[in-house]
Each structure stands twice: as C-alpha cells, then as structure tokens.
Amino acid sequence: MRRICAVNRIVRPVSGPLLRRLALASIIANVGIVVTGGAVRLTASGLGCPTWPRCTDDSYVTTPEMGVYGVIEFSNRMLTFAVGLIALATVLAVLAHRPRRRGVLTLAVAVFLGIPAQAVIGGITVLTNLNPWVVGLHFLASMAVIAAAYALWRRVDEPDTATVAVVPTPLRTLARVTTGVTVAVLVIGTWVTGSGPHAGDHGAARNGLDPESISQVHADGVFLLIGLSVALIFAFRAVGAARATRAAVVLLAVELGQGLIGFVQYFTHVPAILVGAHMLGSCLVLLAALAVQWSTRERRPGVPTPQATATEAEAIPVTA
C-alpha cells in the first residue's frame, strides 16, 4: 500500500497557485509585447533608437533629441526585461518545487531563453534598417515563445504520466494539420505585412511582393483554416469529444473575428488601429489552435511514466 501511495505522489501535479499564475502571466506578457511591438511599427518608431544594443552610438537610453519616436522604441525594449523577469521567476518557481518536474522545467527554460533570442532578432531588425523579412522573423519568434508559454501553462497542472488520446487517431491528425495551417497563415501574414504600409519607418524597404496577390494567398489560407475548423467541430461531436468540440468552436469564433478584422482593414486601406487589433488576433488564433491540439489528449493521474522511476518505487519499503 505504501508503494502505491508513493508512486502516486511522484506522478501527480504539484504546480501550486504561484507557478500557475506565473505561467499564465508569461503568456499574457508575451502577447502584450507583440502588441506593443506592433505599436512601435505602426507609429513609425521602428528606428526611434537607430542602433542596437545601444539606443544611440553614445547612449543606452533615449535622449530628448530623439523625441517621441525614441521614447516609444526604447519603452518597448524595456518591456523585454519585464517579460524576461516573469519568465525567470517562473523558472525559479519550477526549481523550488519538490519533486522536480523535468518536463515542466524544460518548458520554463525554453520560454526564458526564447525571450533574449527574440530580443536579438529585434536588434537585427534595427541593424538591418527594418528589413521586412527580419521583421517577419521577429514576429514569428514571438509566436514560438507564446506557444512554449502556453504549453508550460497547460503542463503545470498535468500529472507526469504518458499522454492518452481522447479522440481517434485520424482526428488527432486533422487537429495537427489545422495547427500546421494556422502556422502557415501566420507566416504568410508576415509576407502581407512586409509588402504593405506601416513599415516601422518612413524610409524602410518593402519585400517587393505584390500586396494584392499575397493578400489573396493569405485569404485563401484563412478560408482553408476555417474549413478545417468546421470539420473538426463536426468530427469531434460525432465521437462525443465534448471538450475538444468546445475548443474547436472557440477556434472557429476567433478565426471569424480575426478574418473580419482582416477584411475590414484591407478594404479601408489598412488603418493602424485595425492592424494592431489584427496582430492581437494572430496571437489569439495561435492560442486557440493550440488549445484544440491539447484537447485531443490528456494525462491521467495514477499511472507513472515509463522512466517514472521504477528505481524510486523499488527503493520504497513494502509493508502490509
């Protein structure tokens, strides 16, 4: 009996409220810095600090001569430190828990390391005078960090057991395809952005793609994504997967809202306020797609992982 209890203690979730809140704060902070980064671009402040890592050749901070553009750009750089502190606090919270959870720690470290990596790419965008391809990579790097932060948030409340599918394999494959199309739509969206206005600075180059043609490709990808999401809803309902169905419904609703913003901004000549809303919507679409992916599997308590520590279990004395 003591052996069973000890194994259950090994595999159950041990996250606690603090770690859960820090993981959620990390998602919010990383989404927030995408939005503020968009504000830098939309106010033409991308070169408010014309070099990196300094703000000017002689100063790490903005100067009065740089005006409001320097303040906006420098403020966004400072927010990176705030996001990094949240990620560091999350890593420390994971390390403070006993027993140590290797999978959770890996995700927490990935989020923490992703933030300086994303900042370096942001610095390269400045050093390349806002090259549109590098700007797009900067956005996609943020999406990768958000994905890792979401996985961490979901993982902290799961037991350390093997995943169990809750829908048939073909539907899990369909969910993966939907996630893949979501990523493709985000990538093409950066091409659309790089071909249009709001370059981040009045003198920044564009990527040379025809805005109308690449916008049509992007719209086609959105239509495909919506179609896949509708298919997921009916398929999940058919097999009685209520949680997965709800996640797919949320994904569809977010996609429709994002699509509406996209169409309105296109036909109103891309006003800055709608571009900012569209960037926020991109983050929400990614999170909703990941939620669908997560809803197709679960980890159930009471069954140790293969490495779950047969050694630890054997070391526990067996008594009646």
Kindly report the pTM of this predicted structure: 0.87
* Average pLDDT estimate for 45-49: 89
106-119 mean pLDDT: 96
Q: What is the pLDDT of residues 157-174, one digit of tens each?
A: 888 888 899 999 999 999
Continuous H helices in 156-210: 169-195
Mean pLDDT of the chain: 87
pLDDT tens-digit map of 267-306: 888 888 998 999 999 999 999 999 999 999 988 776 555 4
Interatomic CA distance for residues 71 and 76, integer angstroms: 9
Pick from 233, 236, 225: nearest CA to 258: 225
Q: Average pLDDT in the 7-32 region?
A: 76
> How far is Cα 29 from Cα 9, in angstroms, rounded to an integer?
32
Residue 8 predicted with pLDDT over 60: no
Please say whether the beta carbons of 42 and 198 come within 8 A: yes
Strands 163-165 and 297-299: antiparallel
| d(C-alpha 119, C-alpha 40), whole Å | 14
Mean pLDDT for the stretch of residues 185-189:
96
Q: Tokens in use for 38?
A: 């968009």
**Per-residue model confidence as pLDDT tens digits over 120-152:** 999 999 999 999 999 999 999 999 999 999 999
Instruction: Give the pLDDT score at 15.
Output: 54
Q: Check pLDDT > 50 for residue 314.
A: no
Note whether 92 and 23 are within 8 A (CB): no
Q: Count CA atoms closer than 13 A to 66's CA, side-chain side.
A: 24
pLDDT digits (tens, 9 = 90+) for 211-233: 999 999 999 999 999 999 999 99
The 10 Å Cβ neighbour count of residue 168 is: 14
Q: Is the pLDDT of residue 9 over 70?
A: no
Summarize the confidence of residues 69-94 as an average pLDDT: 93
- Whether the per-residue pLDDT at 10 is higher than 60: the answer is no
Confidence (pLDDT) at 302: 64
Does the structure show a pLDDT above 60 at 24? yes
Q: What is the mean pLDDT of residues 176-183?
A: 97
CA distance 122 to 141: 10
Q: What is the pLDDT of residue 303?
A: 53
* Start-to-end Cα distance in the chain: 7
The pLDDT tens digits for 234-262 are 999 999 999 999 999 999 999 999 999 99
pLDDT at 92: 94
16 phi, psi to nearest 5 deg: 85, 160
